[in-house]
A = this chain, B = another copy of it.
Amino acid sequence: MTDYKTIGKPMPVLDGREKVTGQLNYAPDVNVPGMLHARFVTSPHAHATITSVDASAALAVPGVVRVLTAVDMPDVPPKSRNRLFLARDRVIFAGQPVALVLAETPAAAEDGAEQVWVEYTSQPAVVTIAEALAAGAPLVWSGGQPGATGEAGAHGADVGDADEEDEKSIKGPNIANGFVMDRGDVAAGFAAADVIVERFFTTSMVHQSYLEPMTTIAVPDGWGNGMTLYASTQAPFYAREQVADVLGVPETAVRIIPTTPGGAFGGKFFLYEAFVALAARVVGRPVALSLTRSEEMLAANPAPAAELYVKLGAQRDGTFTALQGDIKVDTGCFPSYHGVAAWLLGSYYQTPNLESRYTEVFTHKVSPAAYRAPGAPQATFALESVVDEMAQKLGIDPLELRLKNASKPGDPLADGGPWPSMGMHEVLQAAQNHPLYQHRAEAKGKGHGIGVAIGGWPGGTEPTAAQAQLHRDGTLHVHIGAVDLTGTPAGFVLIAAETFGVSPDKVKIVFGDTANMPYAGVTGGSKITYMVGPSVIRACEDARQQVLAIAAEEMEADVADIEITDGRVQVKGVPDKSMDLGELARKTMNFGAKHAPVVGNGRHANTEAAPGFCAQIAEVSVDQDTGEVTVHRLVAVQDVGRVINPLTLEGQMQGGVMQGLGWALYEELAFDEYGTPLTGSWVDYTVPHFIHAVPDYEMVFVETPAPHGPFGARGAGEPPIIATAAAVANAIANITGGRVTHLPMTAPRVLAAMGNP
């Protein structure tokens, strides 16, 4: 392996101290002079027409300045959820904003919101996928369905939805979108199988449960045209595009200042930013909206519930002969584009006969959007449960069976295209070699089950730029356009230090806003290290060349004889001919200085994504009387391409696994038969608690270098959430013999699977 000076060394998260001591300001801490505080009045009905809205009592509340209803807002077609704004004459989910109270204080806004009286006439609602697809069901969009591109798509390569050539489209009443990807002849494939496993699975609607609620502060300029927004968004440039479009101004008339997100996980691309901007324009004052936890549970961007059918056929030796999948996603009141679920289901393993169906179904519920590897946990839970059961039936080691059928680079994807460089086999082998897997017989001896599963994520691409500027104290400022969701900037410090030739403490990452930062696209899709990293390398290399040229002139030597080592620039082999980098910088940043400032420029584009696979081994025990599951150990084995920063990689993987445990065992946004949300707070909705829900973790890195990745690194953010639920389910099956097919795997469901209904 190459001998790196800084790559692969542990580097703590850059703002860790500020975060843990409460010093760091988040969007809700932003206080713009003169700003009004906004509070929603939301619909209690899943489907209703609005008869009247009476704001007079609210307006009498001291401090309330204005109550906006639909008539105050421009009648923008609701072509996507983030353009739904205030309900005009009908509500289509419980929690939908009907009025917006603007007040001088948050308390006055809240008091005012309680005094807005809305009369509804309730209408029949479709709440479940089955209801929505039933003949004669009420249509969520009777007047024609909205069209939009969704944030979920931005997480993976361009798959599933956009390229319809190899797909057959699925259409129908209350169907948002759908397709079939197929090859060969599944009927013939199942006929050729020795063993067939088929199962029906469900997964729940799950909230990303970031600590900081969605927040936007919109500040109009004095002319009714431009707008500056402080926003807790992962996607400042995308939010700028959308806000500008809604306001009808050029994109650069809008400035998005992304605040450090207090968690996002895919949920904070863009939702209420344009809404708040419109409100600010209407009242001509800055407006701040920070959701309550309850509004988060009612009206944010959760992950969709899904129903999944999987049928797998195999020969006695384990060769898969056919795979059939039918994934139905409950997309609430707007399309959410989770088709990557069907694409992954049909791509992990090779089989000559494939049919992978995807249907997105409208219901009268809040619409979902991206949550870390959107669609993948659902599809993987189903497929990896079935593969596990197949191994059991065939009497083949579960990892052997996977290794026999797992895709390799160049193998066909569900859509026919080839897999790019990826390390599914390497990950499976590393999992197989892990002691926890090797000693699963011993675990069983003490009543513990061992389950294994694998999941993968295609990864996204988006062009990026970066700059590197050498300052007078020898510090290199690296300017990037990404938001710090996950600690990736600590990795950029290592990349910059390695490339430029200084120690990491001489590198500082500079963030910005859409007016002043280089482009990095959305922070999501497991692509920040993968796509921004190469721009950082180029910027630092450019800066390095500039330093060498200046040093050569100052020290009267040939450029080829100059080197940067340990923060000094020197003539090779002439130790006394050297110069501190700060000294050199001061020769470029001073009155009358003769050298131009050192500013390296890096630009990068690359459309080949770098998929990342993560296998997980879970050790569980199950209470025989209650069905309660305890996860004792959890090993995640992930192909990260190249370990840039082991600390943040481990943090990412721990976080992903933790959230995977939430999917597996705890989390569900529940609704009654009328579509009324039952889980309006973290009292009702269980998020795994760090103290009592965290097992003994182990994170194992596999390095299958990505050809275009910085030092070979590939995206690491999304893969670790994908296989957790399946690994836990397989571990439960391993020790109880029962297959739990519904997420979350609550104690009653486990008891039922164990045959104790």
Residues of A within 8 A of B (CB): 17-18, 21, 23, 29, 31, 33, 153-154, 157-158, 221-223, 237, 241, 244, 250-252, 460-465, 467, 469, 471-473, 475, 477, 479, 508, 510, 512, 515-519, 521-522, 525, 535, 542, 546, 588-597, 599, 601, 603-605, 607
Contact = CB atoms under 8 A, between A and B. Distances in A.
B17 A223 contact: yes
Contact of A21 (B222, B244, B252): B222
A525 B590 CA distance: 13
Nearest to A255: B510
B510 A591 contact: no
Given A222-B23, A252-B473, A597-B519, A154 B591 contact: yes
A261 to B, nearest CB: 19
A521 B463 contact: no
B521 A516 contact: no
B516 A250 contact: no
Query: How many copies of this chain are found per oligomer?
Result: 2
A314 to B, nearest CB: 36
A141 B251 CA distance: 59
Nearest to A606: B594
A463 B594 CA distance: 7
B479 A516 contact: yes
Contacts of A471: 251-252
A589 B546 CA distance: 27
B460 A597 contact: no
Contacts of A593: 462-463, 605, 607
Given A222-B23, A590-B462, A607-B594, A469 B518 contact: yes
A515 B510 contact: yes
Contacts of A17: 222-223
Contacts of A525: 591
A18 B593 CA distance: 36
B589 A521 contact: yes
A477 B591 contact: no
Contacts of A518: 469, 597, 599
A99 to B, nearest CB: 30
A28 B50 CA distance: 48
A601 B601 contact: yes
Q: 7 shortest A-B CB distances, which residue pairs?
A: A596-B603, A601-B601, A23-B222, A250-B473, A252-B475, A519-B597, A596-B605
Contacts of A508: 252, 515
A472 B605 contact: no
